[in-house]
Amino acid sequence: MKHLNWAAILLVGWAFYFQIFMIVAIKRLIEFLSVNTVLSVLGTLLLSTILGSTLMLLIIQNESGE
């Protein structure tokens, strides 16, 4: 069994946090449209994409033997 990659675990945690935040923000966006809500949804989507791609790069790097 390989050792735990704490950076990957941290990224997964942050990705889950931003996904939950995005669900709440989209729910608010559906209820009432405002500039702050739109900006928070776009910001969260951007951060989730960055975290997801970083996590995928870490996984690929780990699988290829570092």
**pLDDT per position as a tens digit, 15-31:** 788 778 778 877 877 78
pLDDT, tens only, 8-65: 777 777 778 877 877 887 787 778 777 877 787 788 788 878 877 887 787 777 777 6
Assigned token pair, 20: 């939950």
Q: Are 54 and 11 in contact (CB under 8 A)?
A: yes
Q: What is the pTM of this model?
A: 0.53
Q: What share of the chain is helix, strand, coil (3-state, %, to 5)?
A: 85, 0, 15
